[in-house]
Amino acid sequence: MVVGHSSLPPVAGRWIFSFHMPFFFFISALFTNWNKDTSRQFILRKSKILLIPFIIYSVINLILLPFSQGMSFTEYASGILREGWGGIALWFVPVFFLSLLVCKLTPGRFVFNAGLLLLVAGSLLSEFNVILPWALSSVPFGAAIMLLTRYFREGIRGFFSRQTITGWLVVMVAGLAVSLFISHYFRLDMACNDISPTIPIIAGIIGGISVCVSVANLVCHWGLPKALLTHIGRNTYEIMALSQVSILTAALFIPHMPILRYLIMIIVLVAAVYLRKFIEGKYSRVEAI
């Protein structure tokens, strides 16, 4: 996500955009234990994990972003309250939260049909360019990804477990070829529910996710500790919420030093992670977003 919002060559940027936000919905649905909690417990737990940090990080962004963009606080804040976060990555949290609730509250026997119906609904909203405040027009598509992943979860996990090194290499190359081809002709942007035409867009999503999963398995096989990837994944919230505002604010003071800006961003993110854990009163693992 961070790299996708950097100054990359267009080919690389379009490729990352072709799958990076749907990947969050897919991986969450794949590893969530949908039967663990009651609906009430699930809603309360996800509210604590997602909505409380969302409010805190939204306040931080509201303070710094107007300053970094030369706008008055009142003007900027009123626009956010009316329309939502727009292209700032925080738009993702309410959409993700609502998609989780839809997926949890859908009875098991209706998961597949509900997923298809929401996929059609999201496609129609995109086709007719219906943009709702706070990116709510993206909820049907996000929920559809989760529901369909939930329905096919055992098959997907079984496929992953059967792969050898050769198999992962094949999956990676095939996924890269498909996603590069799709991203060349079509652009996905979930922030504004730009998901048309839906069928090739989905093919690009599957291809891009295949590359990421393959690379993760290959690098772990070749010696990268799994704990490192797990640690990064468990601190996704800080990366998503603070990376853009850190870069934009640093650019005011060091506009011609991109490497230093990214170093500052990393320091800010690491500090935010440990500050959050200190405030929570523990240094144990925190559930990934």
pLDDT digits (tens, 9 = 90+) for 194-236: 999 999 999 999 999 999 999 988 988 777 666 666 666 777 8
- What pLDDT does residue 282 have? 57
Distance in angstroms (rounded) separating the CA atoms of residues 114 and 91: 24
94 found inside a domain: yes
Angle between helices 20-31 and 153-162 (to 10 degrees): 100
Distance in angstroms (rounded) separating the CA atoms of residues 194 and 82: 20
Distance in angstroms (rounded) separating the CA atoms of residues 30 and 21: 15
270 found inside a domain: yes
288 found inside a domain: no
- What pLDDT does residue 203 have? 97
Comparing 13-22, 139-148, 253-262, the range with the smallest average pLDDT is 253-262
285 found inside a domain: no
Residue 189, beta-bridge partner list: 194
| Structural domain boundaries enclosing 146 | 3-280
- What pLDDT does residue 147 have? 98
- What pLDDT does residue 288 have? 43
Distance in angstroms (rounded) separating the CA atoms of residues 94 and 170: 36
Average pLDDT, the chain: 89
- What pLDDT does residue 279 have? 74
- What pLDDT does residue 236 have? 82
| Among 52-56, 80-84, 145-149, 284-288, the range of highest mean pLDDT | 145-149
Distance in angstroms (rounded) separating the CA atoms of residues 175 and 165: 15
pLDDT band of 273, cuts 50, 70, 90: confident
108 found inside a domain: yes
- Among 240, 210, 273, 187, CA closest to 2: 240
- What pLDDT does residue 5 have? 56
- Tens of pLDDT along 159-202? 999 999 999 999 999 999 999 999 999 999 999 999 999 999 99
- What pLDDT does residue 112 have? 98
The mean pLDDT value for 49-64 works out to 92
* The token pair that represents 198 in the structure block: 């839906």
- What pLDDT does residue 228 have? 65
Tally of domains within the chain: 1
- What pLDDT does residue 84 have? 94
pLDDT band of 289, cuts 50, 70, 90: very low
The percentage of the chain sitting over the pLDDT mark of 90, rounded to a whole number, equals 64
- What pLDDT does residue 226 have? 65
pLDDT band of 115, cuts 50, 70, 90: very high
Comparing 27-31, 46-50, 114-118, 222-226, the range with the smallest average pLDDT is 222-226
286 found inside a domain: no
- What pLDDT does residue 248 have? 87
184 found inside a domain: yes
Say how many Å lie between the first and final Cα of the chain, rounded: 14
225 found inside a domain: yes
